[in-house]
Amino acid sequence: MLKVLRFLPLLLLLLAVLPGTVYAQPSSPTIFVLHAEGIINPVLVDYIERGIEQAEEDNATACIIQMDTPGGLLDSTDKIVMAIMNADVPIIVYVSPKGAWAASAGVFITLSAHIAVMTPGTTIGAAHPVSVGDTEISDDEMEKITNFSAKWIQAIADERGRNAEEARLAVTESKSFTDTEALEYNLIDLRADTLDSLISQIDGWQITLADGSTVTLSTQNALVEDINMSAIERFLYALTDPNIAYILLSLAILGITVEIFNPGLIFPGVVGAISGLFAFYSLGMLPVNYAGILLVALAFALFVAEAFTPTFGLLTAGGITSLVTGSLILFKGGPLFQVNIGLIILVAVFFAAFLAFVINSVVVAHRRQVTTGREELPGKTTIVRTTLNPEGTVLHEGEIWTAILDQGRAEPKEEVIIERFDGLKLYVTKIKKGDS
């Protein structure tokens, strides 16, 4: 017992020191890596903001944004720049891999980082603003936008201690820089062949955050964690591609048109409606030209009109012309937001072929009708195709006819009796109870 009491002070000392020793062990530093590839738009903004917030909440050592972008929307760029400059964690923008670029909006984002890095073989620059609205911008207005953008990029460069004059030239003269030139002109801080090389080079750097506090980067043996887009973010980002938006809009028009030509098929109408909803989302994320939207809507109206007022191709020709013209001017904002010409031609040819098939079917049906004789029509039973209230259409022996109901209302798929005809119009009546 005395021996136990003799070692009791030593035991108590160990118990007091051990917890401090355990908790004094530093945890491994963590570096989060985000991937900004493609056009800068609202979906990418949400992803980058989410990644920065997660890095702040997890007390990450740093957050690296690996970027390859041709540019994007000005308001989205503004939100990303604000998120970076007000972050409570060091932000490193890394233009990578080889062959990548940080053009237009990418210049603002790169210069706003605490540390800007480029991979050898990459470029940065050409940040002159372009029109992205639904109306033409006058020369005076464009000059104002350019001057504002030049002052903005100068302010960003000054805040980060970079070459404000060369940054301004990227806006006013669309000047571009290779990675070596960007380093020489003090637009970036480092060149790094790989992510590991970047992490090794920034170890020990002191970074001043937005709140004025200074942190020293400790990146040796850091745990690198990729923060990728979620499945929903990837899906929404894909929808904001101008070509995808155009395909969805075309599917919406086609599906609804087929459903109108053939009521009751259900599937084309459902596909068209869903595609239409996705298309509306896509158009809401992109710089649309309302004149283009109206022309595409006119094309849809002309296609539908062909179903109810057969003109043997006249309305279809007008619709195709309107569709192609609207497609060419559907988006603004330069090459970034243009629909591929080949895709426009493919869609136009497909619509022309489909409607030509429909029109040909109508013509053949009418020729066949002349052979059999219209005098046989009275007394025949036919199927209502579109609601008769009192006028609509009926389907008789493969032919689409304009029909007028004598009284009441007849819904699609109801049977009616042909009383008489006048030219291409049929006068019908509902089948009374007891008739067969």
CATH number for position 411:
2.40.50.140
Q: Which residues are catalytically annotated?
A: 104, 144
Query: Pick from 230, 253, 268: which residue ends a domain?
Result: 230
For the chain, the 3-state helix, strand and coil shares in percent, each to the nearest 5, are 50, 20, 30
pLDDT at 20: 39
- Whether 140 and 216 share a structural domain: yes
Structural contact between residues 37 and 6, judged by C-beta atoms closer than 8 angstroms:
no
Q: Is residue 18 part of a domain?
A: no
* CB-based burial label for 130 (10 Å; 0-12, 13-18, 19+): middle
- Whether 357 and 401 share a structural domain: no
Query: Pick from 203, 230, 257: which residue ends a domain?
Result: 230
Q: Is residue 17 part of a domain?
A: no
d(CA 190, CA 194): 12
Helix 139-159 with 164-172: angle, nearest 10 deg: 160
Coil, helix or strand at residue 296: helix
pLDDT at 354: 80
Q: Is residue 117 part of a domain?
A: yes
pLDDT in tens, the chain (436 residues): 444 444 444 444 444 444 433 333 345 789 999 999 999 999 999 999 999 999 999 999 999 999 999 988 889 999 999 999 999 999 999 999 999 999 999 999 999 999 999 999 999 998 777 644 444 566 677 788 888 899 999 999 999 999 999 999 999 998 999 999 999 999 999 999 999 999 999 999 999 998 889 999 999 888 999 999 999 999 999 998 999 999 999 999 888 888 877 777 788 889 999 999 999 998 888 888 889 999 999 988 888 887 677 666 788 888 899 999 999 998 886 777 889 999 999 999 988 888 777 666 655 555 555 444 566 788 888 989 889 988 999 888 777 888 999 888 899 988 898 888 887 788 999 887 655 5
- Whether 289 and 417 share a structural domain: no
Closest by Cα among 78, 73, 112, 110 to 95: 110
Q: Is residue 314 part of a domain?
A: yes
- Whether 171 and 50 share a structural domain: yes
- Which residue type is seen at 107? V
pLDDT at 7: 43
pLDDT at 373: 54
- Whether 217 and 357 share a structural domain: no
Question: Please, how many CA atoms are within 13 Å of residue 378, restricted to the half-sphere of its CB?
Answer: 5
Q: Is residue 5 part of a domain?
A: no
Closest by Cα among 146, 129, 143 to 287: 129
- Whether 225 and 259 share a structural domain: no
Residue numbers of the domain that contains 69: 26-230
Q: Is residue 387 part of a domain?
A: yes
Q: Which two tokens stand for residue 151?
A: 């002052």
Residue 294 φ/ψ, nearest 5 degrees: -65, -40
- Whether 65 and 148 share a structural domain: yes
Distances (CA, A) of 367 to 58, 283, 362, 419: 76, 44, 9, 21
d(CA 333, CA 154): 23
Q: Is residue 417 part of a domain?
A: yes
- Whether 317 and 267 share a structural domain: yes
- Whether 294 and 344 share a structural domain: yes
Closest by Cα among 319, 342, 348, 354 to 243: 342
Coil, helix or strand at residue 173: coil
- Whether 191 and 279 share a structural domain: no
Structural contact between residues 288 and 245, judged by C-beta atoms closer than 8 angstroms:
no
Q: Is residue 12 part of a domain?
A: no
- Whether 354 and 384 share a structural domain: no
- Whether 70 and 146 share a structural domain: yes
Task: Tell me the pTM.
Answer: 0.73
Tally of domains in the chain:
3
d(CA 27, CA 303): 66
CATH number of the domain to which 197 belongs: 3.90.226.10
Query: Pick from 166, 200, 230: which residue ends a domain?
Result: 230
